[in-house]
Structures are given as C-alpha cells and as structure tokens.
C-alpha cells in the first residue's frame, strides 16, 4: 500500500474509535532501507561478540569490543551518553533484568546467562536488538528460561499483522510465558525505532487481546519481552540509576527483535 492508501484506511479506523498511529510512525521506503542498513550492522555486532562471551571476561571488555567494532563498521553506538548512560551497550547477567552497565569489576562466570543489548546509529538511522548468551555450561533451569523467552518473543512476533491491534503481541507473550511457569516484566517494554532511538508506540507484554494501537504497514518497533523465573516484581539500582533487577534475585531473560509491519504480515529486520 502507498502512503495515501494507508492514511485513508487509518482515517477510516479512527472514525470508528480506534487508536491509530500518526503518519510520522509510518516509515517511507527510503527510511526503511536506511533502518535495514543500520540493522545489518547491529546484527553483525551481536554475531561478532558471541565468541568473546566466556568465563573470566569482564563486561567492560565486551563493551569495548562492541564499541570498537561499531566504529570500525562506520556506525555509532546509540546507548553511549544516551540520557547519561556511560557505555556503548547494555549487559545484564542472571537477576539483572536489563540496562546493566558494563564494568571492569563485573566478571562473567561459568553458568551465567547474559543479555547483550546493542543499538546502532548508521547514517542517522537507528536499529536495536538483543540476544541471550550462555557462559560456559549453563544449568538446565536457566537454559529453559532462555529458550522459553525466545519462543515467547516469537509468539508475539507472529501476532504482528496490519489492521490488527498491538495488544495481541503482549497477550500472546504473556500467555506463553504463563503456560511455562514464568512471569513477565510489566513496567518495561518495546518501542518504536528507526528515526529516533525510542519512538511510539510503547509495546507492553502483559496487554489484553484486541486492545491498543492499530498496526499499519510501515510501522517499525521492537518486541523485547523479559521473563522472570520467579515473580514479576523488579527494582532499579539506586546507585547507578539504570540497572534493573528482579526483587527475588531469581534469573531473568530477554530477547529483542525489531519488526517491520508489511502489507500482509511482518518482517524481522533486526535480530
């Protein structure tokens, strides 16, 4: 569909009382191409760093490698200095839910599960995704959490179709997590991305089916559920103002992909 056709359909839905995206959230073909070029670098960074996630390695070392490789590829790390964030990526271990700040004092240990969240700016376009990595031999219970979290993300992605509601994504994620005995973090979610680091819409993962914003071709946003082995309650590190932990100190896992809504479904553009 072209932009005029999309706008006409959005206006029709709006007249029926639906929450619809503004046309600013409908990316042009040129913008989509720019986001995909940024995404290719983001994917390459997460591929590259896998071999360095080993026992005895500091998270600061991993961050340095990502920073240097990002610059080498002609891009800029989006997290660096974003609202005061001091590093080039987020690295979150075990009971750290997200926004872990890399540190020379934090050492990867055998059996850890680690989320590395990388965001890239290339020619002014933003991309964003994260993956889970196991450090050495990972206990079966932690590996199951990692696997189910990825499956839950994919369940959410399968709900992304034009002219359906965004709430379907979170409803599918939450149902899948609950079926496997995990809880979903409520306060933190996905977001639009592409022209800015964080755009509308906010993507929650405990939403109800057939609620929320209408999805339309050209929308780009992340799907990044966080599943906890224990309860859903979290807290923020009072000292650094960034790192989020589970209240019960049980492990958490997160996967993040960026999707593009197409005319007949969706395309994963950053993974």
Question: pLDDT of the chain along its 271 residues, tens only?
Answer: 999 999 999 999 999 999 999 999 999 999 999 999 999 999 999 999 999 999 999 999 999 999 999 999 999 999 999 999 999 999 999 999 999 999 999 999 999 999 999 999 999 999 999 999 999 999 999 999 999 999 999 999 999 999 999 999 999 999 999 999 999 999 999 999 999 999 999 999 999 999 999 999 999 999 999 999 999 999 999 999 999 999 999 999 999 999 999 999 999 999 9
Domain count, the chain: 1
Predicted pLDDT of residue 128? 98
Taking the C-alpha atoms of residue 199 and residue 222, their distance in angstroms, rounded to an integer, is: 10
CATH number of the domain that residue 56 is part of: 3.90.230.10
Q: What is the pTM of this model?
A: 0.96
C-alpha angle with apex 10: 9 to 12, nearest 5 degrees? Answer: 65
Range of the domain at 148: 3-270
State how far the Cα of 94 lies from the Cα of 55, in Å rounded to an integer. 14
């Amino acid at each position: 569909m072209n932009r005029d056709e999309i706008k006409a359909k959005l206006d029709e839905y709006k007249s029926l009382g639906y929450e619809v995206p503004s046309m600013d959230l409908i990316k042009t073909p040129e913008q989509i191409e720019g986001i995909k070029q940024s995404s290719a670098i983001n994917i390459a960074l997460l591929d590259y760093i896998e071999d360095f996630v080993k026992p005895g390695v500091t998270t600061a070392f991993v961050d340095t490698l990502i920073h240097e490789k990002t610059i080498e590829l002609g891009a800029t790390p989006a997290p660096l200095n974003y609202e005061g964030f001091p590093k080039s990526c987020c690295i979150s271990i075990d009971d750290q839910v997200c926004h872990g700040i890399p540190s020379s004092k934090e050492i990867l240990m055998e059996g850890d599960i680690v989320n590395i969240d990388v965001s890239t700016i290339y020619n002014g376009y933003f991309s964003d995704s994260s993956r889970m990595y196991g450090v050495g031999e990972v206990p079966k219970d932690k590996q199951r959490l990692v696997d189910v979290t990825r499956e839950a993300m994919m369940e959410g992605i399968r709900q992304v179709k034009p002219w359906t509601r965004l709430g379907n994504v979170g409803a599918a994620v939450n149902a899948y997590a609950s079926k496997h005995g995990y809880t979903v973090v409520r306060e933190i979610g996905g977001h639009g991305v592409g022209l800015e680091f964080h755009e509308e819409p906010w993507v929650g993962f405990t939403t109800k089916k057939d609620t929320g914003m209408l999805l339309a071709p050209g929308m780009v946003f992340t799907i990044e559920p966080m599943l906890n082995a224990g309860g859903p309650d979290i807290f923020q590190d009072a000292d650094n103002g960034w790192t989020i932990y589970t209240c019960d100190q049980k492990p958490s896992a997160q996967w993040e992909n960026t999707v593009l809504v197409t005319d007949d479904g969706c395309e994963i553009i950053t993974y």
